[in-house]
Chain A
Amino acid sequence: MEKRSVYTNKLLPYLLLAPQLVITLVFFYWPASQAVWMSFRIEDAFGISTEFVGFENYVTLFGQRSYYESMWTTLVFSLAVTILAMSFSLLLAVMADKQIRGGSVYRTLLIWPYAVAPAIAGVLWLFMFQPSLGMIGRGLIAAGVPWNPMLNGDHALLLVILAAAWKQISYNFLFFLAGLQSIPKSLIEAAAIDGAKPARRFWTIIFPMLSPTTFFLLVVNIVYVFFDTFGIIDAITHGGPAKATETLVFKVYSDGRLGGDLGGSAAQSVVLMVIVIALTAIQFRYVERKVTY
């Protein structure tokens, strides 16, 4: 059966689509093509003229030690945030799923972090963990932990990871909860009668049945840590100390905006764009096919 609307006016469908198309063109394709164009050029010292240099920006980029360091930071950062955000939100969702009453209050409370702007979230966490002012920071110092995210790169990275994961938990939670609630209750009951203890029920029935949700969230979370954590990093560490929290996205900004290397920064953007396109392609390919069962 084919379901399609029939328009008598040939122009109307295009007219209805126009706002969406214009927005996509102006805010996505145009800047993206600009980035590609810029990545093949070098700006002179005064920013007056540019010159076409082919792949030189890319060659320079991949010859830089700092680029690989940033890649490593990004890898650690994204793995840690994704694993933390996903496992913690799954735990919360499982707990909320059991709780039938009071569920909506619980859910609303858990959704709030998602509504907080990244920069504000960053500042919040910074306040809490600031060694001399923050509640938790002071507590750590008092407990004898040599805590200083302002000077210690590992501490800084840890703090940024925690803040970024916290921000993403609510989003994951909603999807996991919806996923859990769509599992028929009789399946769990059948497993209980079949002699599976709660932990075994979770790993052999619930978790496999959540796999489409988990996979979808995995891709969304990776894209999130790659691109949407800029605000948090900027608010907490500005990429420091000593570039310890400089992820690939942050490097685009610091090289281009602060370092004035527009061509190199554009080349980095293009690399990132390729990554996100690849991730999205994987997601569409598998989510469309519904993963596993």
Chain B
Amino acid sequence: MAVVTLKDVRKVYAGGVEAVKGVSIDIPDGGFCVLVGPSGCGKSTLLRMVAGLETISSGEVAIGDRVVNDIEPAERDIAMVFQNYALYPHMSVYDNIAYGLRNRKTPKDEIDRRVQEAARILAIEPFLQRKPRALSGGQRQRVAMGRAIVRKPQVFLFDEPLSNLDAKLRVQMRVEIKKLQRALGVTSIYVTHDQVEAMTLSDKLVVMSGGQVEQVGTPTEVYRRPETRFVATFIGSPPMNILPGVVETDGRVSVGGQSLAAADMATDLKPGLAVDVGIRPEEAEIAAPGVAGCAFAIDFVEELGATELLHGTIGEGAFVLQVPTGSVPNGTKQVALTIAPNCVHVFDRETGKRLSRRPAEASKAA
């Protein structure tokens, strides 16, 4: 088990594409770090640099107290699960799992013991003699996991390991990966563009965009206190509503002509400044009858089962509200919303940065 440290890591591909633009992350021993971000933001590139499959243009990657920049993948004591599983098609499941141990000249009976143990943990014992092509997608995924755990590496690396599975299996495997990682206590880095996977798996969430880190934190921190407008709309489903607003006095903003208290808004902003105001669909509430609130005009309703999404507008801005099914009578055209002051997020319109009461440095340490 080991701490993984990335220090100002950069990657410039031949041809001049700068895929990773200076990333620094510390992952504690046994931590589960998830890299999440839109397609092409450099997640895989970063992971592959940790694996040793891509050279590091500048900066430092350390596993434990060893800088591994110039160390071969085989010597880094890592295991990786690929999106397409990368199982050796001409070998049986047993041989696939045993391959890494055989390369390391592990004694035969030790190999057998460990392969059987891995197979038992992953419930793939019945398939050990089969070739990968005779397995279902989920079973292949387990074999790929088996190949990773059998070597008892210092670090697990996952590159979108679940994206080839159907939705139901994905949820099931997600839970299993989490349990397995907890049980084995191996430091893990997991790449995904699925933000539900990112939220549920991680204890350290890294949101990336355009080769840079947008925010690092626990899933709750990132959800509660997004540092940028990008993170705010990327994490959370349905995404956070962003409405145009204007700064008033006394920590209030005006949205669609209605005044809202914003608990975390910086106090030194000039009244009249145009800002972006973020409100999560699930955090606005329908005001009790007679209570004043923000006017929300409903256009149409999407049923999700337990909850429903009300699509409409506040002032000029599009807004989505998520409420328990049946919260508003059929055909309602307008409701008033109350929004708790700590659920109002204010972002700089130009830079997209959070305009926070706490200085950025202090909030990072939090």
Where the two chains meet, the residues of A that have a C-beta atom closer than 8 Å to any C-beta of B are: 184, 186-187, 189-197, 200, 204-205, 208-209, 211, 292-293
Contacts and interface: CB of A to CB of B under 8 A. Distances in A.
Given A194-B100, A195-B100, A293-B90, A186 B73 contact: no
Contacts of B79: 193
Interface string B45-78: 0000001110000000000000000001110001
A190 B86 contact: yes
A196 B91 CA distance: 15
A220 B272 CA distance: 81
Contacts of A192: 52-53, 72-74
Interface string B96-107: 000110011000
Contact of A194 (B74, B84, B89): B74
Of A189, A194, A205, A211, which is in contact with the most chain B CB atoms at under 10 Å from its CB?
A: A194
B88 interface: yes
B21 interface: no
B88 A187 contact: yes
Q: Lowest 8 A-B CB distances belong to which pairs?
A: A293-B90, A194-B100, A195-B103, A186-B86, A190-B86, A195-B74, A208-B90, A193-B73
A234 to B, nearest CB: 43
B88 A189 contact: no
Contact of B74 (A186, A196, A208): A196
B131 interface: yes
B82 A186 contact: yes
A186 to B, nearest CB: 4
A196 B104 CA distance: 8
B90 A209 contact: yes
Contacts of A211: 90
B74 A193 contact: yes
Residue from A190, A211, A293 having most chain B Cβ neighbours under 10 A: A190
Given A208-B90, A209-B89, A196 B99 contact: yes
A196 B147 CA distance: 14
B80 interface: yes
Given A196-B74, A196-B99, A293 B89 contact: yes
A203 to B, nearest CB: 12
A208 to B, nearest CB: 5
Given A186-B82, A189-B53, A196 B88 contact: no
A194 B74 CA distance: 6
B61 to A, nearest CB: 15
B353 to A, nearest CB: 38
Contacts of A196: 74, 99, 103
Interface in B143-164: 147, 151
Contacts of B53: 189, 192-193
Contacts of B151: 194
8 contacts: A184-B84, A189-B86, A190-B86, A192-B73, A193-B100, A194-B99, A211-B90, A292-B90
Judged by DSSP, the binding face of A is helix
A194 B99 CA distance: 7
Given A186-B82, A293-B90, A194 B131 contact: no
A190 B73 CA distance: 10
A196 B74 CA distance: 7
Given A190-B147, A194-B74, A195-B74, 4 more contacts: A190-B82, A194-B147, A194-B151, A205-B88
Contacts of B99: 191, 194, 196, 204
Contacts of A194: 74, 99-100, 103, 147, 151
Nearest to A187: B86
Contacts of A187: 86, 88
Contacts of B74: 192-197
A168 B174 CA distance: 52
B88 A191 contact: yes
B73 A293 contact: no
Contacts of B51: 189, 193
A14 B74 CA distance: 61
B103 A190 contact: no
A48 B133 CA distance: 66
Contacts of A200: 103
A78 B90 CA distance: 30
Interface string B246-290: 000000000000000000000000000000000000000000000
Contacts of B82: 186, 189-190
Contacts of A208: 90
B104 A195 contact: yes
Contacts of A204: 99
Interface string B210-247: 00000000000000000000000000000000000000
Contacts of B78: 193
A191 B86 CA distance: 9
B89 A190 contact: no
A73 to B, nearest CB: 37
Contacts of B52: 192-193
B187 to A, nearest CB: 16
Nearest to B132: A293
B104 to A, nearest CB: 5
Contacts of B73: 189, 192-193
A293 B86 contact: no
Contacts of B103: 194-196, 200
B196 to A, nearest CB: 25
A184 B86 contact: yes
Contacts of B104: 195
Nearest to A101: B14
Nearest to B81: A190
Interface in B103-161: 103-104, 131, 133, 147, 151
A170 B80 CA distance: 37
A211 B91 CA distance: 13
